[in-house]
Amino acid sequence: MHIRAEAIILSTRNHGEHGVVARALTRADGVQPGYVRGGRSRQLRPVLQPANLVMGEWRARTEEQLPALTVEPLASRASLHREPLAAGALEWATALTAASLPEGQAYPRLYDGLGGLIGAIAAAPLARDWAMALVLYERLLLAEMGFGLDLSVCVVTGVDRDLAFVSPRSGAAVTRGAAVGYETKLMRLPPFLRDGGVAGWPDILDGLALTGHFLARDVLVDRRVDVLSARVRLVDRLKRAVA
């Protein structure tokens, strides 16, 4: 087994006295784990921070063996980890990806989407400028995992206009008219999730509530539910920042 590819670091855990097992997302080979000798050293620890882009090389004698992984830094996100909101977003996005994806299965759209989100966080001066990208990435991940939201037409009437709500059970859109009397049982559909454009904080928070509901219900179940704590912290920080 031999893979050489650009990869986004998702997570690390200590292994042995000096090494770490790192999991990284590649475009063609999906999530790949590997043992990094000396990964806890002063030299390699910054390279292995989640959200960093590296050139990784995995080698193993058999498919069953944990590969040895060597990494070369390509893009560091160290400066973002010093900003509480940006750091929280990177922690959540990488933890979500690591917890959701099976190893060795390619998800090129998620690789591109995660890279785009990290780039938006790095480039945007304000959290509002990347928070919308975070919601869109969560929606993409839901779709890639087989739990996509159906926002094309109203599940009740079949029309594709004036869609304002989403059913928390089916993930399908509902028009404003069809929702009369049931508004409190439905979730708000922020326009940017369907039509694009720029979103303000109320719509962004509605989007986070929507994708968060389906991530918790359909994707982050069993042992993976623990990673939701990173999302709770991030959303709380965002709400305090805009209060």
Percent of the chain clearing pLDDT 70 (strictly above): 100
Report the pLDDT value the prediction gives residue 206, as an integer from 0 to 100.
97
Amino acid, single-letter form, for residue 198: V
The arrangement of secondary structure in 80-242, i.e. its CATH architecture, is Up-down Bundle (1.20)
- CA atoms of 43 and 25, how far apart (whole Å): 22
- CA atoms of 207 and 67, how far apart (whole Å): 39
Fold (CATH) for 2-75: OB fold (Dihydrolipoamide Acetyltransferase, E2P) (2.40.50)
Average pLDDT over residues 198-224: 94
Residues 6 or more apart from 235 whose CB is under 8 A from it? 205, 208, 212
For residue range 99-116, what is the model confidence (pLDDT) as tens digits?
999 999 999 999 999 999
DSSP-assigned letters across all residues of 3-45: EEEEEEEEEEEEETTTEEEEEEEETTTEEEEEEETTTTSTTTT
Residue for token pair 């010093």? 82
All structural domains of the chain with their residue ranges: 2-75, 80-242
For residue range 120-169, what is the model confidence (pLDDT) as tens digits?
999 987 898 899 999 999 999 999 999 999 999 999 999 999 999 999 99
First to last CA, the chain: 52
- CA atoms of 184 and 132, how far apart (whole Å): 24
Report the pLDDT value the prediction gives residue 16, as an integer from 0 to 100.
83
